[in-house]
Amino acid sequence: MAAVDLQQLLARVARFTELKSSSEAFVDTRIPEYNREIYNIIGRGVTEDKRLEPAIADNRDFNLTMMKAEPGKASSQHDHETIECFVALTGRWAITLGENGEDEIILEPFDVFSVPPGVMRGVKNVGTEPACILAILGGTDPGRVRWSPHINEKARALGLTVDADGNLVKLS
């Protein structure tokens, strides 16, 4: 059994009150219905705002992100190269499925849903209060987000795009 160095282990604690968030973590966040706060807890995941550093950098095998949204706010339809697992922490959340969100699964606090790679999904706060949901992405490098094509068009019209490395770029 390896010796435990408490100071090293304390660097692996993410305190919610100390987390930094981004309201422009993804290309869709300037579109009003997709305004939300993103917190990178373990690893950067698929976040497109390279300024949003994770609280815990060591993300071997998975990434952990939290989303906080007002009622009616959401993430737009997208997919990933790896599994994405959602855990509702507070409120009620609709996981919308399909390119246009034609199907949905409702999650209540502590419900868990695992979305397979390549399935278009969105996440929407369908409760009456601000709420939080965790997203866990598989893999040390979970790849990049693939957005529904109409989202990229709307984002460009609002001055945002993503470069070849998956980083958010503000257009002039």
**Three-class DSSP labels, the chain:** CCCCCHHHHHCCCCCHHHCCEECCCCCCCCCHHHCCEEEEEECCCCCCCCCCCCCECCCCCEEEEEEEECCCCEEEEEECCCCEEEEECCCCEEEEECCCCCEEEEECCCCEEEECCCCCEEEEECCCCCEEEEEEEECCCCCCCEECHHHHHHHHHCCEEECCCCCEEECC
Residue 3 within a domain = no
Q: What percent of the chain has pLDDT over 70?
A: 99
Q: Could you tell me the pLDDT band of residue 1, with boundaries at 50, 70 and 90? A: low
Residue 169: predicted pLDDT = 85
Residue 21: predicted pLDDT = 95
Residue 10 within a domain = no
Residue 76 within a domain = yes
Residue 170 within a domain = no
Q: Could you tell me the pLDDT band of residue 99, with boundaries at 50, 70 and 90? A: confident
Domain count, the chain: 1
Q: Could you tell me the pLDDT band of residue 73, with boundaries at 50, 70 and 90? A: very high
Residue 9 within a domain = no
Residue 14 within a domain = no
Q: Could you tell me the pLDDT band of residue 125, with boundaries at 50, 70 and 90? A: very high
For the cut 80, the answer to whether the pLDDT of residue 172 exceeds it is no
Residue 41: predicted pLDDT = 97
Domain with 126, as residue range(s), is 19-163
For position 122, which CATH number holds? 2.60.120.10
